[in-house]
Structure 1
Amino acid sequence: MKRMQFLCLLIFIKLFTLSKQDETTVGYCDISSRECGNQSDIVGDRRLLIYDVNPLEGFNLRRDVYMRFAILLHEAQKRGKRKDWVLVLPPFLNLLHWRSDQVDNRPIPWSTFFDIQCLNTFVPVLELHEVFDQNKALEIDVLYILQGFDDPFENGIFEDKWQITRDCKYDGNLWGYNNITFKEMVCLRFQGFIGKLWEVLLLHPNAQKVMITHGEIPLHNNYGSKTYWDCRKSMKFNKDLVDTAKTYISFNFGCKAEFCSNFVSVHWRRQDFTQSRSKDIPSLGGTVKQLDSIMKKQKPNITNVFIATDASSYEKNQLKSKLIILGYKVYFYVPSNLEKAKFKDGGVAIIEQIICSYSSYFVGTHESTFTFRIQEEREIMGFDSTSTFNRLCPDTGFCEKPSKWTVVN
């Protein structure tokens, strides 16, 4: 039983003005471009730590993987070590859950979604397009290809370990670039906390540009600690996204404060969860019954309900109609064509998260990283935890209460 609980914990932990800018500005640096990042001017003698994530992983998990690497470097530099290292931000490219007609084949930089200056207050970072050399190319000294061990509990014990192997291949897409090369590739199995990676990096102590694949495999060293929350607080969103969300809230709910008392928000996860986690989420009818019960019990004086969801148009219309019959006013964020082109699917999702963060009461989906990020925002903003850590339950069976990862200041 203890082994299963520990395994579950480990799995849980693992868990714009762009339309007016040219390709170089938005972070795409192809071999024919006349303007690219100039490594000699920007990078200097600093060593680069680049990481990649399994192409199948979603946007919100990628945000968490960034935190693991940022904290890894921050902790080392706080101890006076590896001060010449810089974390390189891997761009976003056609993620699995991005399905709008605005998806294109150009890598999207982090500045589209986040305030880079704020990220730099925690750890030094650069966008990938900033580190191409004067020949518009990037040669990485060593590529470490991570794989998991077949049995994480070999001999009944989970332990931090790594082992060099010969059987592997790089399964990423290099973010759509065709001008990135490697001097050397190393295959290894890895399990445990991310601090163990320093042992791996010492295999090539003189390498200036290092890349780690499958950055989702190493686990947080200090999930939920003050350092974790310091890193999370530095991940402030792009100002345009925040302003767009605030404009929506002001227009629809007449609220201009961070604590809005007149609407409840819901993250209603559908699509892949209806297959992979069908026992953890309610049916459409069950969702209506639960929301009605929650509203009457927790916020009887509120009738406004904002819903962030990946549901189909049919399901959204059905949910809205049924809630309207019960006397509720239902709101979805529907971006304009200009907003979709400017912010992409990732930015649209962040706008929904910001709106949910400002609501009087929030109800999420069990074990969804989209929900986790909203809960974190609300913790940072100072909402009472009872208004944040709530979930939609399955129609029948056991309904596990959400874990409360509260902010540490």
Structure 2
Amino acid sequence: MSIKMIINLSLLLLCVILTSTEKQDGYCDLKEKTCDRDFLNEKFIIYDVNPPEGFNLRRDVYMRFAIMLSDARQHNENWKLILPPWYSLYHWKAKQNDYPMPWSNFFDVKSLKKFAPVVELHEVFSKIDSNIFKIDRLYVLQNYDDAFENGEFRDKWEIGGDCDYDGSLWGYNNITVKKTICVKYQGRISKLWELISLNPADKFVMFAHGEIPLHDQYGTKTFWDCRKSMKFNKNLISRAKKYIYKYFNCNNKICNNYVSVHWRRQDFARSRKKDVPSIGGTVKQIDNAIKNYNPHIVNIFIASDGQNSELIELEKQLSDIGFKVHLYLPTQLELDTFKDGGVAIIDQIICSHAAYFIGTYESTFTFRIQEEREILGFDSSTTFNRLCPDNGRCEVPSKWKIVN
């Protein structure tokens, strides 16, 4: 075989390897013609969530759409899910959060891609010929006035009525919408395919108020497979592990020498007074929980959105009865680097590895920690615990155990 033939065969083999790698990654360089053809044949769904909703509920909304797209991929449907950027969330106060941020800031996107065909919005921007990203159809989802018809909750939708899109398109001024449709919607998220099928030529379809459609498979193995794929950004994991080792001398997945507490304040303390305890009541419950679980534990990690004055008083009262209180207080550099969302995730990771966890009732921040602890393999008795009000009924938290 001549040298020229060997070189040609080597180049051909290299092209095959590169093309295969690009398809596995789910995106590719514009300069590759095969990639252009792939993009022409692909269709995309993007969604938005009611602006006041927080980071942790949005993570659950993502799972609904990711499972929907994962199921479609298994049926050889050529749809991909565009990950909506994180932008100006209500609970994020730092000025650094006033521009759209990719999911890679907070999550391992390669891990997300292994479960569902997802792409970052900037990946789509890089493949559009013009500078304008045109959404073919925006469906503005609305709740029905009465969820029960003849006393029965059932899946249904209907087009019509007046509605306004109250989102900001993530702060971009080069995203436009060709047509907006108002839809009353109730039921499972898979019913959205019925809407999409009405206009099969659409390439880019968007759903506003993506929190309205419900899970098809909540709590199933598919649900947990999706949840397990939501691995955090490695820099956030590294920072949390350094904190755990520094203050609790633990390098293990499951630590046995500290208790963690999610103490939700602010809006909960105002609007859910019947569900949350006072500072004194919080101290009493933490003390009793530790005595019952392991009276030798003295370290308590607190994750909270409370005011400084509240946290100082909580720390004082816990210290007075012999506990050592820890909080993750980011430096300005860390806040600039990780943003409010990353700081919250670091709090969650530290809470997730504690020997025992106490959460806040019906808080999505607490839910995400409970899910993480189920994935890590903690006994459920150490995870599904809550702070109770000082007086009155204290409802036991639901236990959503992992399915492998």
Indicate the residue corresponding to 2:98 in structure 1.
105
Look up the match of 1:117. 110
Can you give the 5+ residue segments of structure 2 that lack an aligned partner in the other structure? 1-29
Alpha-carbon distance in structure 1 between the residues aligned to 2:340 and 2:38: 30
**Higher percent of residues as helix:** 2
- Between the aligned partners of 1:356 and 1:198, the Cα distance in structure 2 is 38
Deviations 1:118-150 (A, max 9, x none): 000001111112212232220011111100100
Greater shift, 321-330 or 269-278, is seen at 269-278
Instruction: Say if 2:326 is the partner of 1:331.
Output: yes
Task: Give 1:284 deviation, angstroms.
Answer: 0.8
**1:65 aligns to what SS in structure 2?**
helix
For residue 9 of structure 2, what is the aligned residue in structure 1?
none
Deviation at 1:40, TM superposition (A): 4.6
Which residue among 50, 53, 64 is the counterpart of 1:54? 50
Give yes or no for the alignment of 1:232 onto 2:202.
no
What residue identity is the alignment partner of 2:226?
Answer: C
Q: Deviations over 1:285-320 (max 9, x none)?
A: 100111111111112010000000000000000000
Which residue of structure 2 lines up, in the alignment, with residue 28 of structure 1? none
SS in structure 2 of the partner of residue 151 of structure 1: coil
- 1:45 deviation in Å? 2.1
> What amino acid is the match of 2:98?
N
Q: In 1, are the aligned partners of 2:298 and 2:322 still within 8 Å (CA)?
A: yes
* One-letter code aligned to 1:166: G
Q: Distance in 1 between matches of 2:373 and 2:134?
A: 41
The answer to whether the aligner puts 1:95 opposite 2:89 as a matched pair is yes
More deviation in 122-131 or 303-312? 122-131
Could you tell me whether the CA contact under 8 Å between 1:89 and 1:128 is conserved in 2? yes
* 1:186 aligned partner: 181
How far the C-alpha of 1:354 sits from its partner, in A, is 0.2
Other structure's SS at 1:121 match: helix
Alignment correspondent of 1:405: 400
- Match runs of 1:22-37 below 5 Å: none
Distance 1:321 1:231 in 2: 41
Equivalence for 2:20: none
Relative to structure 1, the CA distance from residue 157 to residue 251 in structure 2 (aligned partners, 3 Å threshold; closer, same or farther) is same
Q: For residue 63 of structure 2, what is the aligned residue in structure 1?
A: 67
Aligned to 1:354, the other structure's residue is in SS state: helix
SS of the aligned residue for 1:266 comes to strand
Residues 375-398 of structure 1: CA distance to partner in whole angstroms, max 9, x if unpaired? 000000100000000000000111
Q: 1:154 aligns with which of 141, 149, 157?
A: 149
The C-alpha deviation readout for 1:247-304, integer Å capped at 9, x for no partner, is: 0000111111111111000000000001221111111110011111111111201000
SS in 2 for 1:154: coil
Equivalent AA in structure 2 for residue 97 of structure 1: H
**Count of residue pairs brought into register by the alignment:** 370
Conservation of the 8 A alpha-carbon contact between 1:263 and 1:302: yes
2:97 and 2:363 map into 1 onto residues whose CA distance is 26
Letter in 2 for 1:105: D
Distance 1:94 1:42, change over 3 A: farther
The letter of the residue matching 2:315 is K
Offset from partner CA, 1:347-374 (integer Å, 9 cap, x none):
0000000000110000000000000000
Query: Aligned pair 1:382/2:377, yes or no?
Result: yes
1:103 positional shift: 3.0
Matched, 1:272 2:267: yes
1:390-401 pair list within 5 angstroms: 390-401=385-396
Deviation at 1:220? 0.5
Q: Which residue of 2 aligns with 1:365?
A: 360
Q: Distance in 2 between matches of 1:59 and 1:43?
A: 30
Letter in 2 for 1:62: R
Q: Is the 8 A contact 2:258 2:300 kept in 1?
A: yes
User: What's the counterpart of residue 43 of structure 1?
Assistant: 39
Q: 1-side partners of 2:129 and 2:92: how far apart?
A: 33
Alignment match of 2:192 (pick from 197, 202, 208) = 197
Q: Does the Cα contact within 8 Å between 1:225 and 1:408 map onto a contact in 2? A: yes
Q: In the aligned structure 2, how far is the partner of 1:359 from the partner of 1:237?
A: 18
Task: Provide the rounded CA distance (Å) in 1 between the counterparts of 2:394 and 2:186.
Answer: 31
Amino acid at match of 2:46: I
CA RMSD of aligned residues (A): 1.5
State whether residues 305 and 330 of structure 1, in contact with CA within 8 Å, keep that contact through their aligned partners in structure 2.
Answer: yes
% identity of equivalent residues:
58
